Amino acid sequence: MTPSEIGFAILYLGVFLLLGKIIRVKIKVLQNLFLPSSIIGGFIALLLGPQVLGKLMNVFVADDHFLASGIMTDTIVNVWAELPGLMINVVFASLFLGAVIPKMSQIWTYGGPQLALGWAIGWGQYVIGLLLVIFILTPFFDIPPIAGALIEVAFEGGHGTAAGMASTFEELGFAEAFDLAIGLATVGVLSGVIFGIILINWAVRRKHTKVIEDVEGFSALRKRGVMEYQNREPAAQMTTRPESIEPLSFHLSLVMIAILIGWMILQGLIGIEAITVGSSFMEYIPLFPVAMLGGIILQLIFSKKDKYNLVDRRMINRIQGLALDILILSAIGTVSLDVIGEYLVPFLLLAIAGISWNLFSFIYLAPRIIPEYWFERGIGDFGQSMGVTATGLLLMRVVDPDNESPAFEAFGYKQLFYEPFLGGGFVTALSVPLIAQFGPIPGLIFSVAMVAVGITSGLFYFGKEKHKKAA
């Protein structure tokens, strides 16, 4: 594989990203589902690649024909297959760069109920997955116990986390888990939006929403994914002068350094483990959660030493967004349909069980845990539990378009404590090797205990605060 071939494969990303955007603008059903262009482009690449178009063309053309593998050559597929594992490090290294850490009192008041609810939902996904593994998937389908972590990895973590865990799945002898996780993540995004819109309509009719009284929907431009003219703002701030260093180059270098710090920390932990206990557990830990720690360390340094406020959060968001678009497009475009077909029944069981748990948790727990604006605030946690943070933010924007409730503030505070652990954090990264090493039953017991912590703190502490205000 030559550098030119790698470069051409990367250029191909732009074709499918733009194609996904054009299709989003033209097809109303995709607009109503608020599907990102990266997901649409990924599906188009999958259909035009060797797994669909290639197999169809093999009936009519010779093996050496240029369409024998669709319009995606083997080189392009091989390059794309490596991109998700690289891009997830950029996404997680960017999480806290440029972010301002608020006071603990604010975090506890607004973010505490959200954290209790999210904690219960996230750990509950492990409970459901491990129960499926213990009683159905392993006995009847001979699937390794680490499949019990796939619901949380795919739903809470999303495409990025699923891609980041690929090397861990492979090293633990269940490489097919990557394709299953990518498929589950796609199901999560789709069902998150669909069920989210259904829940919003239900809540409006039942008078559970405080901000909106009817569902008017977004403007036509917004549904097409185009920013309204009156709302267009600069994508980022110019915090450095270009003749000194281009602002994008400066911020990208910070992300790179954060990843490098994370890599050094991980290598140090692997070395310490080898010297002290002689095991290889740390080698199964992917880089991306430690890259997040590198970003936190770098942000703490800048918070104390940067008197010019050089780190612009919006610029970091643009870098993170680009990495996520590349990640999702390349992950979906290279997912193995053969693997999903081979494990179709387990795949459907995991998807249905995960969706059912998330719906039950939101409908039953959210109104009992969150003191005020329970629907506006809880719908964000539901969206995140189904299809990562972006889905939660989208659903919150539907029910609170002008930010009249504390939903966005509370959700943001919750993320400060939630992201380092669940939804792609250290718990997500450690869960797979821990289940592989100790088995599903200890993991189930611990997960049940964590769910109990979230539910009891939510019901008997934050729930009591709700009753005090009502009295």
pLDDT over 60 (residue 23): yes
What are residue 402's DSSP bridge partners?
none
Q: Which of 78-82, 188-192, 431-435 has the lowest mean pLDDT?
A: 188-192
Ranked by mean pLDDT, which of 92-106, 199-213, 442-456 comes out on top? Answer: 442-456
The answer to whether 286 and 252 are in contact (CB under 8 A) is no
| Banded model confidence at residue 348, pLDDT cuts 50, 70, 90 | very high
Give 290-299 pLDDT, tens digit per residue: 888 899 899 9
Distance CA 39, CA 245 (A): 34
> Residue 13 gets which letter from DSSP?
H
Instruction: Give mean pLDDT, residues 98-106.
Output: 72
User: In terms of Cα–Cα distance, which of 454, 437, 435 is closest to 445?
Assistant: 435
Give 188-233 pLDDT, tens digit per residue: 888 888 898 889 888 888 888 887 766 555 567 767 778 777 778 8
Q: What pLDDT is attached to residue 417?
A: 80
Mean pLDDT estimate for the chain: 86
Distance CA 234, CA 162 (A): 32
Q: What pLDDT is attached to residue 467?
A: 47
Q: Which helix (H) or strand (E) holds 42?
A: helix 37-48
